[in-house]
């Protein structure tokens, strides 16, 4: 362990337990190629953190001093993405490795204005912020030390050096990792202004790792919770999925409620949760999160439409009941309720249209399950969301005897249909008409030679 004044803490290979056997072979190939080409290459971020904690990393990120275009010239499987910060995605058969360039700590200084028009020089890349301090573009490249200072939390700023297999710590991340603390790098007020999504990341890491959010970081987070809506709605949707599909969704939900983030993200739904329906509190949201966590921890997958149906289904059904009291038929009431829910949610958390349609279908097929066998049961079983429909009804109302029997019947039919050989239907096809051959037209010279007028 080496530490000099104003220098990073370096943990030599004998002093840490990270082995290359635990790393992605593709990530190692990238690091070695960067090294062979004369560039610096580190593993960085969550993969180093998880390896030190004895967890299996979800993905591997690489950082280098090579620019995105230099990376693209080195790797044929490279795709450049991103406007806010240019990244290189290296596509392999079973994974995508993200490679970024060291970022700078350059301040948001105004562009220098040349005195004369003919003295103008090419514009250099600059960090671009809005009036509230949120980073809009950040394609300013720097050194490894500057890049570490630009990351969100200390535990995510650790780097693995492929040259000597050491761990490099510029921000005190190893100490926070040992203490179980989530701490922002730098002033948390400024860091949350730069990127409000960091507040959701702090919650997710604290829940996932069973860590505590450092006091100053938590205070700044609570104070800035309302500003989460400044992030783009599609990005917030992705972060919500990461939170509730992490396997620790219940803990994430608790932290979101405690910090005020949940009310900012889902204001109408949060107000409904705080109220009571017919004298009973709304406890199903928490129960559904516990069920989702249990499934994910068992290695099962939960699709986004099923997740949304489980979490918001009771809320949508109550809306639909209100429409039915006004005389709206069953299906139309569900359609209207889902449309109203999407209208409330999408301005802040953008649920994709196809996910909203799948959510509506999962909730509305309860009536179809009652029709045994009904018309064309094999087509209903062949639906891509059939398993989600069965799962949703099994979880939400499977304790009712009649519904349980219906679900058992459908599952038995689905199992039988899988065991039978799939036969294509014999469709009578209209025979294709033979195309007539066009007679070649003889030219005038040939006609003259044969004596024809």
Mean pLDDT of 322-327: 94
Q: Domain ranges for the chain, please list them.
A: 1-106+133-179, 188-262, 365-419
- Write out pLDDT tens, residues 34-43: 999 999 999 9
Active site residue 59: yes
- Mean pLDDT of the chain, nearest integer: 85
pLDDT for the residue 123:
47
**3-state DSSP of the chain:** CEECCCCCEEECHHHCCCCHHHCCHHHHHHHHHHHHCCCCEEEECHHHHHHHHCCCCCCCEEEECCCHHHHHHHCCCEEEECCCCCEEEEECCCCEEEEEECECCCCCCCCCCCCCHHHCCCCCCCEEECCCCCEEEECCECCHHHHHHHCCEHHHCCEEECCCCEEEECCCHHHHHHHCEECECCCHHHHHHHCCHHHHHHHHHHHHHCCEECHHHHHHHHHCHHHHHHCCHHHHHHHHHHHHCCCCHHHHHHHHHHHCHHHHHCHHHHHHHHCEECCEECCHHHHHHHHHHHHHHCCCCCCHHHHHHHHHHHHHHHHHHHHHHCCCCHHHHHHHHHHHHHHHHCCCCCCCHHHHHHHHHHHHCHHHHHCCCCCCHHHHHCCCCHHHHHHHHHHHHCCCHHHHHHHHHHHHHHHHHHHCCCCCCCCCCCCCCCCCCCCCCCCHHHHHHCCCC
Min mean pLDDT across 140-149, 386-395, 401-410 is at: 401-410
**Catalytic member of 50, 138, 147, 152:** 152
Share above pLDDT 90 across residues of the chain, in percent, rounded to a whole number: 64
Measured CA to CA, the distance from residue 364 to residue 102 in angstroms comes to 50
Please say if 61 is a catalytic residue: yes
What kind of architecture, by CATH, is found in domain 1-106+133-179?
A: 2-Layer Sandwich (3.30)
Q: Is the pLDDT of residue 270 over 90?
A: yes
- Give the pLDDT score at 115: 42
| Rounded CA separation 149/143 (Å) | 10
274 is catalytic: no
Rounded to two decimals, the pTM is: 0.81
Burial code (b: 16+ CB inside 10 Å, e: under 16) for 58-94 equals: eebbbbbbbbbebbbebbeebeeeeeebbbbbbeeee
Q: What is the mean pLDDT of residues 397-420?
A: 79
Q: Which whole number is the average pLDDT over 383-388? A: 88
Nearby residues of 283 by Cβ (< 8 Å), 6 or more positions away: none
CA angle 110, 115, 117 (to 5 degrees): 100
Cα–Cα dist 150/205, whole Å = 18
Q: Catalytic one among 61, 138, 169, 195?
A: 61
pLDDT tens figures, 240-259: 999 999 999 999 999 999 99
Nearest CA to 252 out of 209, 218, 196 is that of 209
Instruction: Note the pLDDT tens digit of each residue in 195-222.
Output: 999 999 999 999 999 999 999 999 999 9
Task: Express each pLDDT in 275-307 by its tens digit.
Answer: 866 656 678 899 999 999 999 999 999 999 999
Residue 416, pLDDT score = 82
Taking only the tens place, the pLDDT of each residue in 4-62 is 545 889 999 999 989 999 999 999 999 999 999 999 999 999 999 999 999 999 999 99
Res 140: pLDDT: 77
pLDDT in tens, 116-154: 434 344 444 555 555 555 655 556 788 999 999 999 999
CA-CA distances (angstroms) from residue 432 to 117, 390, 424, 429, 435?
70, 44, 21, 9, 9
CATH topology of domain 188-262: Hydrophobic Seed Protein (1.10.110)
């Amino acid at each position: 362990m080496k530490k000099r004044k104003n220098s990073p803490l370096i943990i030599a290979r004998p002093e840490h337990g990270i082995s290359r056997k635990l790393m992605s072979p593709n990530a190692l190939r990238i690091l070695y190629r960067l090294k062979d080409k004369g560039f610096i290459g580190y593993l960085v971020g969550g993969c180093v953190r998880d390896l030190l904690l004895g967890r299996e990393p979800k993905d591997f990120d690489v950082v280098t001093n090579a620019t995105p275009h230099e990376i693209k010239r080195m790797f044929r499987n490279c795709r450049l993405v991103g406007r806010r910060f240019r990244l290189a995605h290296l596509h392999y058969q079973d994974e995508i490795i993200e490679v970024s360039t060291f970022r700078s700590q350059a301040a948001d200084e105004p562009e220098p204005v040349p005195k004369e028009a003919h003295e103008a020089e090419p514009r250099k890349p600059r960090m671009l912020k809005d009036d509230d301090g949120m980073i809009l573009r950040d394609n300013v490249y720097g050194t490894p030390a500057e890049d570490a200072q630009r990351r969100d939390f200390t535990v995510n700023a650790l780097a693995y050096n492929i040259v000597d297999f050491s761990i490099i710590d510029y921000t005190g991340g190893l100490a926070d990792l040992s203490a179980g603390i989530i701490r922002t790098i730098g002033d948390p007020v400024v860091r949350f202004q730069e990127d409000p999504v960091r507040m959701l990341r702090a919650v997710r890491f604290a829940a996932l790792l069973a860590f505590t959010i450092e006091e100053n970081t938590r205070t700044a987070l609570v104070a800035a919770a309302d500003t989460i809506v400044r992030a783009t709605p599609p990005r917030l949707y992705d972060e919500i999925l990461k939170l509730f599909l992490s396997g620790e969704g219940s803990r994430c939900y608790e932290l979101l409620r405690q910090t005020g983030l949940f009310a900012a993200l889902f204001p109408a739904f949060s107000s409904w949760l705080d109220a009571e329906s017919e004298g009973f509190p709304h406890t199903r949201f928490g129960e559904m999160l516990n069920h989702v966590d249990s499934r994910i921890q068992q290695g099962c997958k939960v699709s986004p439409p099923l997740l949304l149906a489980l979490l918001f289904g009771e809320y949508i059904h109550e809306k639909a009941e209100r429409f039915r009291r006004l005389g709206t038929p069953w299906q139309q009431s569900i359609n209207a309720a889902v449309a109203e829910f999407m209208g409330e949610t999408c301005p802040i958390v953008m649920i994709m249209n196809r996910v909203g349609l799948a959510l509506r279908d999962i909730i509305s097929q309860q009536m179809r399950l009652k029709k045994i066998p009904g018309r064309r049961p094999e087509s209903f079983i062949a639906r891509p969301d059939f398993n989600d429909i069965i799962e949703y009804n099994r979880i939400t109302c499977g304790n009712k005897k009649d519904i349980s029997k219906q679900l058992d019947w459908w599952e038995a039919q689905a199992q039988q249909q899988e065991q039978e050989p799939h036969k294509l239907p014999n469709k009578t096809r209209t025979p294709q008409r033979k195309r007539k051959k066009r007679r070649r037209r003889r030219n005038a010279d040939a006609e003259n030679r044969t004596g024809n007028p």
